[in-house]
Amino acid sequence: MGKILVTGGTGFIGSHTCVSLINAGYEIVVMDNLCNSKVESLARVSLITGKNPRFYKTDLNDYKEMCQIFEDHKIDAVIHFAGLKAVGESVKLPLTYYHNNISGTINLLKVMEKYGCHKFIFSSSATVYGENNPVPYTEDMPTSATNPYGYTKVMIEQILKDVCTSNSDWKVISLRYFNPIGAHESGLMGENPNGIPNNLVPYIAQVALGKLDKLHVFGNDYDTPDGTGVRDYIHVMDLAEGHVAALKYANSVNGFEAINLGTGKGSSVLDVVKAYEKACGKKIPLEIVARRPGDIAESYADATKASEVLNWKATYSLEKMCTDSWNFTKQNPKGL
């Protein structure tokens, strides 16, 4: 059996997926340019699994370096996590996002074509459902975006569909993640953002740690049960297992398939705060402030397709997600 190339494998979801891949018996090769993650993540993967995956510090856009990986290893499939993913930053730096995410993916696909590797699992996002689809989201709904980051995901999915149309050898699964949170239960790995977190749970974690003084709740006047935003939070290890299931399914895929990876359940900001307070045993001070531009009221998955075709379902509760997030945070107060 060939090896699995994990691009962006030192990132939050990528590193957790490395653990699940190794535990499932795959031999993996990891590449990352370390612009938004640390190679220490791989040391933690080794601590957990006892394996030392080969690592290449390189950039998706470096054709020669990417070819070297395929010269050195027989790559059977690629799981493609590498990409910039901050919505706000993408509005300020659209060309950086389009170059890194789209040109980088095109370069990767060209290298795969050159070496006859046609099995591809793409890290997509619920963000492709845009603002006009009714929840729960199903994979056949139209995609759209409201920011350059979201557009990179929409455009890459289109590129993948067109590549599959041009050559029937391609087997592509686009996994649309909802809101990944939590950490490996060992506390050795977790979400490790640089600077002030944009996302809810890593921000709450810093408040619980005492590094930030309170959570700003972006609006409580949405048309939701308690007025705060509702999202489909999914444990990062559930997400990781979803990738192993997708890799097995990829053998029977012809062309392009999109699959949601979510729990199918929505939780509000205040639900998450309550779960986190239970997990860390502390009160999370908060202040209701204005809505964040671009936010939608509700986003959660119809998770039927994943359960039918991947025989995969999310298993962890919101409380377990918060407990594991807190366990990592208190063990790594300064991050990795």
Tokens of 265: 């359940």
For ligand WQD, the closer CB: 257 or 298: 298
What is the contact mask toward ligand WQD in residues 114 to 153, using x (rule: CB under 6 A)? Answer: -----------x-x--------------------------
The residue from 4, 21, 200, 258 that contacts ligand WQD (CB under 6 A) is: 200
Binding segment (CB under 6 A) for ligand WQD, from list 21-29, 50-58, 183-191, 195-203:
195-203
- Cβ-contact 231, 301 below 8 angstroms: no
Interaction residues for ligand WQD, span 14-73 (CB under 6 A): none
Q: Tell me how far apart the terminal alpha carbons of the chain are, to the nearest angstrom.
A: 33
Binding segment (CB under 6 A) for ligand WQD, from list 12-20, 30-38, 108-116, 198-206:
198-206
As to burial, measured by CB atoms within 10 angstroms (0-12 exposed, 13-18 middle, 19+ buried), residue 278 is middle
Binding segment (CB under 6 A) for ligand WQD, from list 36-44, 183-191, 212-220, 249-257:
212-220
Q: Is 198 in the site for ligand WQD (CB under 6 A)?
A: yes
The residue from 30, 87, 164, 306 that contacts ligand WQD (CB under 6 A) is: 87
- Cβ-contact 229, 222 below 8 angstroms: yes
- Write down the least CB distance from residue 49 to ligand WQD, Å: 26
Candidates 62, 71, 87, 50; CA nearest to 7 is 62
- Write down the least CB distance from residue 85 to ligand WQD, Å: 4
- Write down the least CB distance from residue 52 to ligand WQD, Å: 29
As to burial, measured by CB atoms within 10 angstroms (0-12 exposed, 13-18 middle, 19+ buried), residue 120 is buried
Burial 203-231 (b: 16+ CB within 10 A, else e): bbbbbbeeebeebebbbbebebeebbbbb
Q: Is 179 in the site for ligand WQD (CB under 6 A)?
A: yes
Binding segment (CB under 6 A) for ligand WQD, from list 46-54, 135-143, 214-222, 313-321:
214-222
DSSP reduced 3-state for 154: helix
Q: How far apart are CA 209 and CA 2, in angstroms?
A: 43
**Residue in the shown chain whose Cβ atom is closest to ligand WQD:** 229
Q: Is 229 in the site for ligand WQD (CB under 6 A)?
A: yes
- Write down the least CB distance from residue 200 to ligand WQD, Å: 4
- Write down the least CB distance from residue 335 to ligand WQD, Å: 18
Sign of CA dihedral 118, 121, 127, 129: positive
Element (H, E) at 321: helix 318-331
- Give me the catalytic one of 26, 97, 98, 149: 149
- Write down the least CB distance from residue 199 to ligand WQD, Å: 3
* Other beta carbons within 10 Å of 319: 13
Strand ranges for the chain from DSSP E: 3-7, 28-32, 54-57, 75-80, 119-125, 171-177, 179-181, 215-218, 230-231, 233-235, 255-261, 267-268, 286-289, 298-299
The residue from 203, 302, 305, 313 that contacts ligand WQD (CB under 6 A) is: 203
- Write down the least CB distance from residue 292 to ligand WQD, Å: 5
Q: Is 274 in the site for ligand WQD (CB under 6 A)?
A: no
Query: Annotated catalytic, 149?
Result: yes
Tokens of 105: 């993916």
Q: Is 105 in the site for ligand WQD (CB under 6 A)?
A: no
Tokens of 329: 């945070």
Site residues (vs ligand WQD, CB under 6 A): 85, 87, 125, 127, 179, 198-200, 203, 215-218, 229, 231, 269, 292, 295
